[in-house]
Amino acid sequence: MRAGAITFSLLLYGILKTLRHKARRHPHFARRLAERDFTAQIRTFDGAVARYYAFRAGSIESKRGLHPSPDITISVASAALGARLFTPWVDQLERIEAMKNFDFKADGPDELVVWFTQTLSMLRSLEWEYGTDIGDGTRRYVTNTNGGPLFVYVKDGKIVRLTPIEFGDDDAQPWTISARGKRFTPPRQTTAAPHTLCSKSTVYSPDRLLYPMKRVDFDPKGERNCQNRGISGYERISWDEALDIVASEIQRVKTEHGQGAIIANHGSHHTWGNIGYYISAAFKFFNTIGYTRVIHNPDSWEGWYWGAMHHFGYSMRLGQTETYSTVEDLLKEAEMVVFWSADPECTSGSYSAFEGTARRQWLRDLGIEIVHIDPYYNHTAALLGGKWFAPKPGTDTAMALAIAHVWITEGLYDQKFVAERSVGFEPWRDYVLGRGDGVPKTPEWQEPETGIPAKDVRALARRWGRKKTYLGAGGWGNGHGGACRSATGIQWARALACLLAMQGMGRPGVNYGHLQWGTPIDLHFYFPGYADGGMSGDLEGTGMPISLYQRMPQLPTFNPSTQKVPRLRIPEAILEGKTEGYPWNGKTIEGQFQKFSYPAAGHSPIRMFYKYGGASIGTMSETNRYVRAYRTDKLEFVVNQSIWFEGEAKFADVLLPACTQFERWDISEFGGTGGYALHGQTQMNHRIALMQHKCIEPLGESKSDWQIFLELSHRLGLGAYYSEGMTELDWVKRLFDASDLPKHISWKEFLKKGYFVVPAPAEHERDPVALRWFYEGRKKDVPEPHPLPGDYGKQFLEGLQTQSGKFEFECSSLKRFDPDDPERPPIVKYLPSWEGTQTKELYERYPLQMISPHSRFSYHTLSDGKQSAVNDIDEHRVCVNGYYYWVVRINAQDAAARGIRERDLVKLYNDRGAVVCAAHVTERLPRGVVHAYESSAVYDPVGEPGESVDRGGCINQLTPKRSIAAKVTGTAVNSCLIEIVPWDGSGELRTAAVAAAPVRAKAERAALPTS
């Protein structure tokens, strides 16, 4: 016998001894061994080395050689290979290679194969310890959420409390920035968003789906009653029945209709982690079954992606610039910060809890001037103070052009920078001065558009032109959210880009930001972000090819269908059978020009919808469309895999109950996004990699998303391919191994403690300031692997991604694409909103402009509804006569003119729908503007779904479906005209006039007297 054969043979014998030994030591493992009665054979292809294991009622009988009729067989090409693959420390790359080359195979039912291989892998993990015993039977675990990391205290299998993580003495010390004689250091703990702190109430919500369910009048073999979706009730069914229905429907539509018949779509941000999140497990599963992909629009970037990108590139950041070390630069150099459509104290940088809040306090310590431009006196303004400008929604571009006009006419801009680092300034300057159209874009010109007095704009322009100023645009400071999500979002983002270029972007004290991004943390420590694809194997739709694929070899996955549907056009695709769109593709600037059509050539129309989560009605636009699309037999089957019974989950035929992230394993980094938000960790004060312990067992019969996909895969013969034979925890360990964590902390310690704080770099090791290289005309020196090497015009790392390599006031890419597009001309111009104060006829009928920013207390629909604790926050929902209503904010004079008082129930309506909210009467809005957050989780039609008043608060029923511009696919939800009347209690979409007495709150708890 050769050495390999002896080793392999001994290893196979060792497996037997270890199985028996571990079963004696661990009763739960012994119970697992009793779950299946079957025989597994392991062998070389030629049978020279072989051993079988027969499981019978928990005992194992095993012999060398071949069994006559094994249930499953795992075979390897040679004994030498077997010896390497069955050692405890297997080389993942070799394992993957062997599987891809069919040198390492499994035959027999998938479910048994995976049970067996998972059982073998548990031999390693049985003794792993996790969590910290803190006495009295309480154990403290760790998890991470999209609103910050948590310590999770668990007693008797139940979550007791959730707290942020306070660092211990053994955790790394934070950075310190010295600026203007002061020293600034962040607190040594993490922060947590309200939508995270309320998690106990959502985990134990009465709205949890705890069992698989089937709509009572849905029969996959008979009457489907698709028209009753959203109306009929549900009955509990077994997991086997539910999974069998879903698996057989997948097979049926594929064989009956062909390629593309399944559409699958995930919501965003209802959970967190690198393994079990949508961009990992779900992508892998959907790729393996083949599906019509839903192309999400760059919904929080719109204007930057479709607009600003053409001026300066940064396609890989979707049109937002780099932000390295801007916190230090701002604190040291800036004299003023302009927050423009920016409310970081509301949206928390999306994933970064209150990490930026502590830093923004330092603005006051240093006496840095602050300006806010936002129709709403937002939370950042309310906290920090400063000068507030409230332009009418959608008109900000006019204000920006007037600022440029003052700078040009008074010489208040960086003329050297403009001459040396930009192209195309002259035609834009001429437009601003009115040389072509005879209309100089003066402060006086903008006044009737924006409602902002000319004198104020002039004063701002002069102040800005004379002071080193950071432009904090959107929630991240370099874009994101707000005015970019409107009919004029493209021109707004473009105009802001031009303003900052005029001031010399990258000059000390002149850059994008409001201390939200750009902390001096160590970005050279590798830990992947969630958008890097986890275990998806998806090289096309995630950030995996950059680093993770090399570091964590895994079976690749590719979607065989090339059919695509824009997320904003799913209803049209279903109901009309035809639609088109422009893609979210940040690889190059030109990626966004690649128009696509549905149906794709040779593909089937979509017949089955696999929906993952239930957020569409609260978060898309004109969302009664989605309700109607669900209620048609053009969709033969709808399955929704959801944690909670809410929103569009109530329109499914079969419901698969997923558990929360507190009930499953995962691993992640605080704010670690990766992908298009590379180095998003610089929103955090500390880099922290975290275990997501499985803190409690899944409630009811719910299962992790990962496990649900696995069990469906078993039924399709894809189980081994999907899981690679491993458990969720194995995948977590693989990701740990792929990161830089093992250089600093052992798996054993990391698993037990649950987190690792990455040491901050020494002051001299900090990254260079964003765009300084460009300002100074040097090669790029920040750690950003963008743009693609082929996108440099001259030398690698020289200049921007634009054709000229310079900032382009006149955009070459738009000239190439369509120089005559009135909505996106090569230079940015002011074009009034297609839904706003200038659309006369509509404005007469609906004289209120509604803006609907991202919600403050829920993350999209996560944590709203569900009887969660945030419902008791008056700013989020208000309880009127026992029902928790969504809140709309309305100017006091507008309210008085309509007979609306504080907390009255009011109906918001336009031609698209009607929603009931509770009124908050305020002076934080100018006349004519109303404010209601988007993202209600509750859709509660008072009459027929899709055709009646909703009292759940999904105000996106009112927002326009129209794309920002004809040649892009982007949402314009902040351009929305409505009317508001006191609600008469009726469910009718349209009531002619208000006759009945308004529904008013009963006497409330007496308010505290103010004096």
Partner 1 sequence: MKKWNLVIDVAQCFNCNACAMACHDEYFGNEFPGYAAEMPRLGHRWIDIRQRETGRCPVVEVAYLPVTCNHCDDAPCVKAARDGAVAKRADGIVIIVPEKAKGQRQLVDACPYGAIWWNEEKALPQAWPFDAHLLDRGWTKTRGSQVCPTRAMRTLHVEDEEMQRIVREEGLQVLHPEYGTRPRVYYKNLDRWTKVFVAGSVAGVLDGVTECIEDARVVLERDGRALAEARTDPYGDFKFGGLEAGSGGYRVRIADERFAAKALDVALGESAYLGTIMLEPRAAPTRAAG
The residues that touch partner 1, with contacts defined as CB under 8 A, are 158-164, 166, 189, 191-194, 197-198, 200-201, 204, 345, 353-354, 357-358, 361, 377, 379, 382-383, 387-390, 453-456, 458-460, 462-463, 857, 867, 869-875, 879, 884, 891-892, 922-927, 1005-1011
| Smallest separation, CB 585 to partner 1 (Å) | 36
886 touches 864 (CB < 8 A): no
- Which residue reads 């709808």 in tokens? 638
Beta carbon nearer to partner 1, 71 or 345: 345
Q: Give the length of the chain.
A: 1011
| Smallest separation, CB 193 to partner 1 (Å) | 8
771 touches 327 (CB < 8 A): no
| Smallest separation, CB 453 to partner 1 (Å) | 7
569 touches 582 (CB < 8 A): no
Q: Which residues contact 305 (CB under 8 A, 6 or more apart)?
A: 298, 318, 319, 584, 586, 592, 970
Chain centroid, CA 451 distance in Å: 35
491 touches 358 (CB < 8 A): no
| Smallest separation, CB 97 to partner 1 (Å) | 48
Beta carbon nearer to partner 1, 159 or 741: 159
Beta carbon nearer to partner 1, 357 or 559: 357
| Smallest separation, CB 288 to partner 1 (Å) | 39
Q: The tokens of 894 are what?
A: 């507008």
| Smallest separation, CB 872 to partner 1 (Å) | 6
In sequence order, what are the beta bridge partners of 849? 929, 977
Q: Which residues are tagged catalytic?
A: 269, 299, 530
Secondary structure of residue 840 in the 3-state scheme:
helix
472 touches 511 (CB < 8 A): no
Q: How far is 511 from 516, CA to CA, in rounded Å?
A: 13
Q: How far is 831 from 876, CA to CA, in rounded Å?
A: 34
Beta carbon nearer to partner 1, 238 or 409: 409
Q: How far is 272 from 857, CA to CA, in rounded Å?
A: 17
* Apex 991 CA angle, 990 and 995, nearest 5: 165
| Smallest separation, CB 1001 to partner 1 (Å) | 14
| Smallest separation, CB 513 to partner 1 (Å) | 19
Handedness of CA 788, 791, 796, 802 (dihedral sign): negative
Considering all CA atoms of the chain, what is the largest pairwise distance in Å, rounded to the nearest integer? Answer: 96
75 touches 40 (CB < 8 A): no
471 touches 501 (CB < 8 A): no
- Which residue reads 């509804």 in tokens? 865
Beta carbon nearer to partner 1, 26 or 200: 200
865 touches 871 (CB < 8 A): yes
* Apex 616 CA angle, 613 and 619, nearest 5: 120
What stretch of H or E contains 758?
A: strand 755-758
| Smallest separation, CB 390 to partner 1 (Å) | 5
Q: Put the strands of the sheet holding 262-266 in their side by side order.
A: 234-236, 213-215, 654-657, 637-642, 608-612, 262-266, 292-295, 564-566
269 touches 859 (CB < 8 A): yes
Q: Which residues contact 832 (CB under 8 A, 6 or more apart)?
A: 394, 395, 449, 488, 838, 839
Q: How far is 852 from 886, CA to CA, in rounded Å?
A: 12
Beta carbon nearer to partner 1, 915 or 929: 929
651 touches 263 (CB < 8 A): no
Beta carbon nearer to partner 1, 789 or 1009: 1009
- Which residue reads 């947590």 in tokens? 192
Beta carbon nearer to partner 1, 189 or 838: 189
Q: How far is 614 from 268, CA to CA, in rounded Å?
A: 10
- Which residue reads 């950042």 in tokens? 380
| Smallest separation, CB 667 to partner 1 (Å) | 24
Residue 20's nearest CA partner among 55, 65, 70 is 55
Beta carbon nearer to partner 1, 151 or 774: 151
Beta carbon nearer to partner 1, 375 or 725: 375
Q: How far is 308 from 297, CA to CA, in rounded Å?
A: 16
| Smallest separation, CB 382 to partner 1 (Å) | 4
| Smallest separation, CB 332 to partner 1 (Å) | 23
Beta carbon nearer to partner 1, 41 or 446: 446
Q: How far is 540 from 544, CA to CA, in rounded Å?
A: 8
Q: The tokens of 386 are what?
A: 């400063």
| Smallest separation, CB 276 to partner 1 (Å) | 23
Measure Cα distances from 479 to 340, 490, 492, 861 in Å.
9, 11, 11, 22
Chain centroid, CA 252 distance in Å: 32
Chain centroid, CA 525 distance in Å: 23
520 touches 175 (CB < 8 A): yes
